[in-house]
């Protein structure tokens, strides 16, 4: 059967993709659900013992000794397992593109334990990044056990990562969108089918397991709604809040990168000593207020109109909010800079919620109806997230899923657009792409140039597809096509036919892996000694359905 614009999706390939996606979803759903349940229990336990120590100051020295030792332990783990350094998003994006490689059995267990340990020690940390990492590693594990080729492994890592994010946020559509906006930044049928199937099976497993444990399976913010009488005045307040929060988000983005550069210069105790800094800060901040601790879900619930007032040392609400916001800012920046195995996404949403509540208090004095407080908080959450991460579609869909209220769709689109434009004005990059660049630079691995000639076979995924729609190995560039005696330079819209001979260049770290991926994607590798057809305009016209070779390539991967 044939889809739009020449894409042919063969039944056999589709059935295999669904099958591996289902297996990935079952595996990732089970592991990530158990991980998130334990994260919730660990956060509650950490708040409990911090509250006890705050009431019994004699134990404070013992607390800081334990935190210092915990920092050394995590520093040692990161030294020997560098794949764990960071939130989990950046490493998983590197694995989906083929630039990084999971050792799934080791990475799953180590990230599971290390992330739980940081939360147990009272750090402000979210579970969604490690959930994505664990899910992606589960996908890699299923691929290795089934002995799938490198291209299918990338599909399964993507599916597992999407399943992990869907479970971590209880947001299935957000998990699927991750495949296109963050992991691959393109659409292919296999990516869609594998991510969709993995997410569906993982969410079913999650709901069954949580139901069996007597836990809720509902929405993240089920009580938030946008009043029906929201008019022009509220829209103006929302636009003003989006602009302010976007500027704060850009400042926070710069702070993250600055702190990361500062931490890169701290090398005492073979780089293990720098991990003690966020652990000791966690002790100090946790004794100030336990509201700082954990991912921030409980804090967001408290800030809503149905929550309990937030107070730090009996201070007024506005002062308490500023204190908690400052602590979240510092802690999240330091945790990211030290590359601890914890995520900043939910803490960023919590910071956006605090900013929204503060702005609602200000706008209330300017005439805004207090009934719009919750709605303004939600819009500030998506604005802050988008301004830092620069993933507007993910932010929009996440807003709708977290509230289960489609009335937020249009305001979220507008606020996300403002956040994205402000980021462009200040030349910010997507946060996780920037962090991935840092990981790859530290590895210091640059591949040598590889040229390959591949004949497209009828049953290859690339057959009857445009160059743009094929999931090529990372760094692969289709330089030329030879077809029926004609040689021409393709564009992204060129449809590849059975029998085409492709000239492909790349700079992979692993040559053999690159060639295997090309073979599984396009077809038959031809001998390297054969001369490749020049990617020059031929004297004859190319076939009618091909673009003229007089134009330079535009959208080659």
Q: Model confidence over 303-323: pLDDT tens digits?
A: 876 666 677 877 888 999 999
Mean pLDDT across 428-455:
82
Q: Let me know if residue 227 belongs to a domain.
A: no
Tens digit of each residue's pLDDT (9 = 90 or more) over 348-367:
999 999 999 999 999 988 88
* Residues 372 and 410 reside in one and the same domain: yes
Query: Which residues are CB-contacts of 97 (< 8 A; sequence separation ≥ 6)?
Result: 154, 183, 184, 474
d(CA 347, CA 87): 12
* Residues 164 and 50 reside in one and the same domain: yes
Domain boundary among 406, 441, 476: 441
d(CA 376, CA 380): 6
Tens digit of each residue's pLDDT (9 = 90 or more) over 72-104:
999 999 989 989 988 888 899 888 888 888 999
Q: Let me know if residue 368 belongs to a domain.
A: yes
What is the rounded average pLDDT for all residues in the chain?
A: 84
Domain boundary among 408, 441, 474: 441
Give the pLDDT confidence score for residue 228 in this predicted structure.
60
Domain boundary among 441, 467, 500: 441
Q: Let me know if residue 391 belongs to a domain.
A: yes
Q: Let me know if residue 120 belongs to a domain.
A: yes
* Residues 67 and 143 reside in one and the same domain: yes
* Residues 292 and 366 reside in one and the same domain: yes
Phi, psi of 187, deg, nearest 5: -110, 130
Domains of the chain: total = 3
Please state, for a pLDDT cut of 70, what percent of the chain lies above it: 88
CB contact at 8 A, 379 and 241: yes
Q: Give the CA count within 13 Å in the CB-facing half-sphere of 100.
A: 31
Mean pLDDT across 385-401:
89
pLDDT at 183 over 50: yes
CATH number, residue 399: 1.10.3080.10
Query: How does strand 486-488 pair with strand 477-483?
Result: antiparallel
d(CA 481, CA 497): 10
pTM: 0.85
Tens digit of each residue's pLDDT (9 = 90 or more) over 19-42:
888 999 999 999 999 999 999 999
Give the pLDDT confidence score for residue 71 in this predicted structure.
93
CB contact at 8 A, 132 and 168: yes
Tens digit of each residue's pLDDT (9 = 90 or more) over 101-160:
899 999 999 999 999 999 999 998 888 899 999 999 999 999 888 888 788 888 899 999
Q: Which of 176-180, 227-231, 327-331, 333-337 has the lowest mean pLDDT?
A: 227-231
CATH number, residue 477: 3.30.70.1450
- The 8-class DSSP code of residue 481 comes to E
Q: Let me know if residue 511 belongs to a domain.
A: yes
Two structure tokens written together for 359:
């702005």
Q: How many residues does the chain have?
A: 557
């Amino acid at each position: 059967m044939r889809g739009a614009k020449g894409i042919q999706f063969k039944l056999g390939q589709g059935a295999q993709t669904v099958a591996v996606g289902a297996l990935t979803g079952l595996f990732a759903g089970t592991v990530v659900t158990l991980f998130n349940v334990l994260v919730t229990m660990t956060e509650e336990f950490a708040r409990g013992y911090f509250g006890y120590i705050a009431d019994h100051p004699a134990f404070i020295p013992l607390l800081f000794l334990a935190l210092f030792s915990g920092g050394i332990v995590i520093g040692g783990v990161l030294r020997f397992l560098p794949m764990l350094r960071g939130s989990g998003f950046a490493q998983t994006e590197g694995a989906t593109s083929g630039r990084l490689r999971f050792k799934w059995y080791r990475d799953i267990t180590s990230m599971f334990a290390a992330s739980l340990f940081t939360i147990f020690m009272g750090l402000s940390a979210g579970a969604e990044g490690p959930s994505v990492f664990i899910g992606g590693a589960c996908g890699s594990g299923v691929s290795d056990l089934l002995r799938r080729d490198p291209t299918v492994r990338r599909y399964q890592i993507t599916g597992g990562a999407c399943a992990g994010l869907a479970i971590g946020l209880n947001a299935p559509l957000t998990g699927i969108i991750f495949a296109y906006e963050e992991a691959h930044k393109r659409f292919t049928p296999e990516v869609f089918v594998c991510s969709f199937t993995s997410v569906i099976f993982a969410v079913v497993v999650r709901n069954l397991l949580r139901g069996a444990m007597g836990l809720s399976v509902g929405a993240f913010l089920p009580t938030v709604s946008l009043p029906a009488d929201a008019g022009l005045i509220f829209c103006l307040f929302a636009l003003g809040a989006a602009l302010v929060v976007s500027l704060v988000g850009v400042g926070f983005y710069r702070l993250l990168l600055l702190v990361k550069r500062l931490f890169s210069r701290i090398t005492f105790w073979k780089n293990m000593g720098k991990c003690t800094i966020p652990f000791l800060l966690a002790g100090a901040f946790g004794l100030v207020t336990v509201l700082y601790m954990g991912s921030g879900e409980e804090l967001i619930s408290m800030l809503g109109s149905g929550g309990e007032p937030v107070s730090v040392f009996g201070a007024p609400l506005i002062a308490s909010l500023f204190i908690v916001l400052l602590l979240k800012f510092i802690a999240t920046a330091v945790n990211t800079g030290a590359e601890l195995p914890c995520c900043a996404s939910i803490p960023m949403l919590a910071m956006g919620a605090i900013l929204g509540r503060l702005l609602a208090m200000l706008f209330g004095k300017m005439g805004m109806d207090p009934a719009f407080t919750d709605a303004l908080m939600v819009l500030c959450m998506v604005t802050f997230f988008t301004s830092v991460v620069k993933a507007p579609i993910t932010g929009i869909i996440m807003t709708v899923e977290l509230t289960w209220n489609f009335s937020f769709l249009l305001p979220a689109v507008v606020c996300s657009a403002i956040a994205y434009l402000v980021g462009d004005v200040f030349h910010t990059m997507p946060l996780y792409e920037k962090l991935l660049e840092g990981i790859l630079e530290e590895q210091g691995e640059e591949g040598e140039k590889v040229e390959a000639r591949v004949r497209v076979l009828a049953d290859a995924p690339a057959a009857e597809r445009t160059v743009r729609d094929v999931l090529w190995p990372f760094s692969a560039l289709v330089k030329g096509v030879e077809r029926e005696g004609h040689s021409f330079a393709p564009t992204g819209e060129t449809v590849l036919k059975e029998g085409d001979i492709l000239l492909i260049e790349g700079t992979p770290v692993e040559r053999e892996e690159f060639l295997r991926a090309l073979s599984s994607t396009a077809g038959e590798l031809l001998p390297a000694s054969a001369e490749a057809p020049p990617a020059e305009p031929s004297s004859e016209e190319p076939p009618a359905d091909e673009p003229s070779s007089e134009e330079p390539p535009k959208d080659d991967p």
